């Protein structure tokens, strides 16, 4: 295995940054949608190389950050049951639900909570523990949804009765629409997440670009990729264009990954979903279709699932909390605008979700900004 | 290295029983047939405490507890870890280990062959460091209340130099070296737990550090501070030493040796190689004028040793490969793989 070092070469990075500084003539505001990109920008210090006129707004594309508190509460309720083995991705375990408890706390209190790196691990766990119910807390965007869909399909085909899915996948395009529709929106161009497009292709973005008149550039995660994406976005803004361009052709093609898309469509159907900080977004989640809905943990454990108090479904921030994560997740505020940043709120004791995940904007600022 | 021949003919209990910790005949069997042959005095007579010959000059004293899952991993096991870890803690103040204690906390049901292998590994590791195990204890906890074996070792070391080695001795301008490439132990353990999601041939870097440290001291180098890079890795060590010294450090990402397999595993899982655990690596602070000589000595033991930066300013900074500085984050305990 070797790293894509050509995409980190200092000469290439500095040359692209110089072109960007030379070509920009006016102030522009661009949002990188994906938390992985936010993290990479700060980790490599690319923000230090950008022209002053270019403002980056960090988008809501961190799946850990936008998973609704109510969904985490439901995962915790399941994980606390003796007959359940709850599995999820590692960084999901540290996110507080509505009670400030995390899945790590549930594990410490005796819950069987396991980290998996691939949903396919669940098959072996379910087969090894026929007497228990193995639940996958499925989070992530279109990047991780195909693996969940494959698990659902395999479990259904094998007739595994002790496997259930607590599905909390998000779809990125409805979130971009919601950001653009907000009256205070300042975003003039987008870097779309390259790996999401690797799966889904780019066709979903053309209607957004033309309806809102914003350029959208499919962008990767290495320093050269990010600067190339920014350059293609700024060039369009300078010319008054709003096209969907692909600055990540080595990994993303227009049609995406046909097999993965077919699997998603076979297993899931778009549903409305609550995003932390953004509220309920139409068609922004994925629900299990028949016959796979037989695996739905909500259905199997419906009666024991906690429900948010009436009117609390949209996760409004606690008015007493100084945390402004809702505004950060919408790109309306920077992490450093928050009075709690770095003081009351740190990665060890997070008040809001963007401080929890390594890819959250607040955690990235806290981690890398000197 | 000579293999330790098990002195106990296979027989007796196949697993550890609660009675092995009860002080009765089973305890006696365990001591007589396993522990005394491995570590005991020549006459085989045990007493409540070991009497050590008086040493001239200062002594170093340390203790550490060892819990690791799995008990055996590529490149070592909990037994060798429990010896090298404590010997290495002594080495970090420039001391040579002269005596170790060994407390075993065993879980009922532990297969006896596993205990034998761990004891053999302790014996070999102690021999390699030239240090006797002079006293010990064994307890057994009920099944389900332990993780197979927990080990505590304490060590006494002889200090043969006149240096004050510690964070307070660090000076602005000092060079910072690492004794080898970083992160192998952490990644090897994750792989052994099958938590990586892919296979790797990587072995732990577990190794005794007494010899390279003694070589540095024998060369008359003015060692200011050393720290073995265990949990929390280089990032934690630099923060701790920086805070203790009241100074900052600047290390260059390009200069920090990391094996390509470690780098790739960390990159895929979103882990930070600088916060990964090591068990046979240390960071060294010493005057810049002596850095080259120290590096030559360290490379005799581990060719990947490197000069990685210097003491300057008041914050802990990393200069990345693009020549840009950013804060070096202190690891925050358990590292968790990211989603995508």
Q: What is the mean pLDDT of residues B270-293?
A: 95
Give residue A194's pLDDT.
Answer: 94
Mean pLDDT of chain A: 91
Residues of chain A contacting B320 with CB distance shorter than 8 Å:
43-45
Percent share of chain B, pLDDT over 90: 71
pLDDT > 90: percent of chain A: 71
Same fold, B18-159 and B167-327: no
Q: What is the pLDDT of residues B220-258, one digit of tens each?
A: 999 999 999 998 999 999 999 999 999 999 999 999 999
Q: How confident is the model at residue B303, as a pLDDT?
A: 97
- pLDDT band at residue A5 under the 50/70/90 scheme: confident
pLDDT of residue B338: 64
CA distances in angstroms from B74 to A158, B129, B203, listed in the order given: 35, 20, 5
Among A76-90, A160-174, B313-327, where is mean pLDDT lowest? B313-327
Share of chain A above pLDDT 70, in %: 95
Banded model confidence at residue A1, pLDDT cuts 50, 70, 90 = very low
Averaged confidence pLDDT in chain B: 90
Task: Determine which of A7-16, A230-239, B28-37 has the lowest per-residue pLDDT on average.
Answer: B28-37
| Residues of B whose CB is below 8 A from A140 | 339-340
Residues of A in contact with B327 (CB under 8 A): 367-370
Tell me the average pLDDT across A322-351: 86
Judged against a pLDDT cut of 80, whether residue A311 lies above it is answered with no
Instruction: State yes or no: pLDDT of B212 exceeds 50.
Output: yes
Q: Does A334 touch chain B (CB under 8 A)?
A: no
Instruction: Using CA coordinates, name the residue in chain A closest to B200.
Output: A1
* Position B9 confidence tier, pLDDT thresholds 50, 70, 90: very low
Encode pLDDT of B126-184 as tens digits.
Answer: 999 999 999 999 999 999 999 999 999 999 999 999 999 999 999 999 999 999 999 99
Say what the pLDDT of residue A60 is: 87
- State how far the Cα of B128 lies from the Cα of B123, in Å rounded to an integer: 9
> What percentage of chain B reaches a pLDDT higher than 70?
92
Give B329's pLDDT tier (boundaries 50, 70, 90). Answer: confident
pLDDT at A302 over 90: no
pTM given for the model: 0.83
Q: Of A99-103, A231-235, B9-13, give the lowest mean pLDDT range.
A: B9-13
Structure tokens at A209: 């670009």
Query: What 3 state SS string does A147-161 have?
Result: HHHHHHHHHHHHCCC
Question: What fold characterizes domain B18-159?
Answer: 60s Ribosomal Protein L30; Chain: A; (3.30.1330)
Q: Going from the N-terminus, what domains does chain A have, and what CATH number goes with each?
A: 1-317 (3.40.50.11740), 325-368 (no CATH)
Q: Tell me if A166 sits within 8 A of A137, measured CB to CB.
A: yes
Instruction: Please state the rounded mean pLDDT for residues A303-320.
Output: 59
**Cis bond before residue A139 (omega within 30° of 0):** no
Cβ atoms of A39 and A364 within 8 Å: the answer is: yes
What is the average per-residue pLDDT within A275-288? 92
**3 state DSSP class of A184:** coil
Chain B residues in contact with chain A using a Cβ-Cβ cutoff of 8 Å: 195-197, 260-261, 263-264, 267, 269-270, 315, 317, 320-327, 329, 332, 336-340
**B145 phi and psi angles, rounded to 5 deg:** -105, 10
* Per-residue pLDDT at A313: 43
As separate numbers, helices (DSSP H) first and strands (DSSP E) second, chain B gives 9, 13
A350 at interface of B, judged by CB pairs closer than 8 A = no
Residues of A in contact with B326 (CB under 8 A): 42-43, 45, 368-370
Can you give the pLDDT at residue B321? 86
Strand partners, B286: B175
Distance of residue A221 Cα from the nearest chain B Cα, in angstroms: 12
Interface test with chain B among A358, A365, A369, by most B beta carbons within 10 Å: A358
- pLDDT of B311 strictly over 70: yes
**Mean pLDDT (whole number) for B98-117:** 96
Task: Calculate the CA A107 to chain-centre distance.
Answer: 24
* CATH no. of B167-327: 3.90.650.10
Nearest-Cα distance to chain B for A168, in Å, is: 13
Selecting from A1, A45, A357 the residue whose C-beta is nearest the C-beta of B322 gives A45
Q: How far is Cα B316 from Cα B27, in angstroms, rounded to an integer? A: 51
Q: What is the pLDDT of residue A276?
A: 86
What is the average pLDDT across B17-46? 85
Domain boundaries, chain B: 18-159, 167-327
Selecting from A45, A90, A368 the residue whose C-beta is nearest the C-beta of B338 gives A90
């Amino acid at each position: 295995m070797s790293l894509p070092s050509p995409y980190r070469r200092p000469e290439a990075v500095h040359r692209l940054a110089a072109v960007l500084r030379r070509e920009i003539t006016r102030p522009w505001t661009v949002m990188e949608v994906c938390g992985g990109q936010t993290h990479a920008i700060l980790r490599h210090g690319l923000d230090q190389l950008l022209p002053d006129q270019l403002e980056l707004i960090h988008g809501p594309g961190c799946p850990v950050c936008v998973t609704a508190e109510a969904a985490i509460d439901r995962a915790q309720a399941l994980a606390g049951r003796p007959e359940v083995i709850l599995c999820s991705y590692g960084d999901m375990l540290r996110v507080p639900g509505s009670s400030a408890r995390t899945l790590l706390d549930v594990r410490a209190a005796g819950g069987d909570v396991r980290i998996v790196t691939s949903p396919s691990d669940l098959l072996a766990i379910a087969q090894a523990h026929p007497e228990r119910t193995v639940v996958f807390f499925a989070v992530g965007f279109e990047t991780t949804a195909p693996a969940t869909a494959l698990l659902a399909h395999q479990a259904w085909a094998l007739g595994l009765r002790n496997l259930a899915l607590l599905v909390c996948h998000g779809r990125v395009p409805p979130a971009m629409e919601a950001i653009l529709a907000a009256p205070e929106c300042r975003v003039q161009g987008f870097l779309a997440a390259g790996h999401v497009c690797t799966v889904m292709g780019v066709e979903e973005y053309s209607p957004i670009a033309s309806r809102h008149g914003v350029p959208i550039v499919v962008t990767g995660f290495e320093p050269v990729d990010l600067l190339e994406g920014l350059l293609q976005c700024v060039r369009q803004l300078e010319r008054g264009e709003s096209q969907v361009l692909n600055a990540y052709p080595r990994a993303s093609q227009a049609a995406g990954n046909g097999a993965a898309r077919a699997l998603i469509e076979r297993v899931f159907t778009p549903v409305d979903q609550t995003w932390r900080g953004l509220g309920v977004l139409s068609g922004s989640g994925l629900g299990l279709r028949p016959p796979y809905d037989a695996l739905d943990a909500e259905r199997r454990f419906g009666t024991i699932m906690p429900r948010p108090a009436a009117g609390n479904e949209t996760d409004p921030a606690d008015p007493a909390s100084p945390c402004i994560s809702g505004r950060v997740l919408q790109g309306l505020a920077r992490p450093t605008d928050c009075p709690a940043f770095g003081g009351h709120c740190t990665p060890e004791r997070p008040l809001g979700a963007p401080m929890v995940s390594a890819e959250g904007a607040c955690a990235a600022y806290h981690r890398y900004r000197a | 290295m000579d293999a330790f021949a098990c002195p106990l003919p296979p027989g007796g209990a196949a697993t550890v029983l609660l009675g092995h910790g009860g002080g009765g005949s089973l305890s006696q069997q365990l001591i007589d047939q396993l522990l005394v042959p491995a570590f005991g005095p020549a006459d085989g007579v045990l007493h409540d405490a070991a009497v050590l010959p008086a040493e001239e000059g200062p002594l170093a004293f340390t203790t550490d507890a060892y819990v690791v899952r799995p008990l055996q991993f590529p490149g070592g096991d909990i037994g060798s870890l429990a010896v090298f870890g404590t010997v290495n803690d002594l080495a970090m103040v420039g001391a040579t280990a002269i005596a170790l204690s060994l407390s075993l906390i065993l879980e009922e049901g532990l297969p006896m062959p596993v205990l034998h292998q761990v004891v053999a590994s302790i014996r070999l590791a102690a021999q390699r460091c030239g240090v006797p195990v002079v006293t010990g204890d064994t307890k057994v906890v009920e099944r389900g209340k332990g993780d197979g074996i927990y080990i505590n070792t304490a060590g006494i070391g002889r200090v043969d130099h006149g240096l004050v080695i510690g964070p307070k001795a660090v000076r602005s301008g000092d060079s910072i070296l690492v004794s080898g490439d970083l992160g192998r132990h952490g990644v090897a353990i994750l792989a052994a737990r099958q938590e990586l999601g892919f296979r790797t041939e990587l072995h732990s870097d577990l190794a005794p550090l007494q010899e390279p440290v003694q070589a540095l001291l024998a060369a008359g180098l003015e060692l200011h501070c050393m720290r073995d890079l265990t949990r929390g890795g280089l990032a934690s060590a630099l923060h701790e030493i920086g805070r203790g010294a009241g100074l900052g450090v600047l290390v260059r990402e390009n200069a920090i040796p990391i094996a390509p397999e470690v780098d790739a595993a960390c990159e895929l899982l979103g882990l930070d190689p600088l916060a990964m655990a090591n068990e046979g690596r240390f960071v060294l602070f010493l005057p810049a004028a002596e850095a080259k000589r120290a590096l030559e000595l360290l490379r005799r033991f581990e060719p990947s040793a490197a000069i990685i930066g210097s003491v300057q300013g008041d914050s802990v900074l990393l200069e990345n490969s693009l020549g840009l500085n950013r804060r070096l984050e202190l690891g925050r305990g358990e590292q968790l793989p990211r989603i995508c």
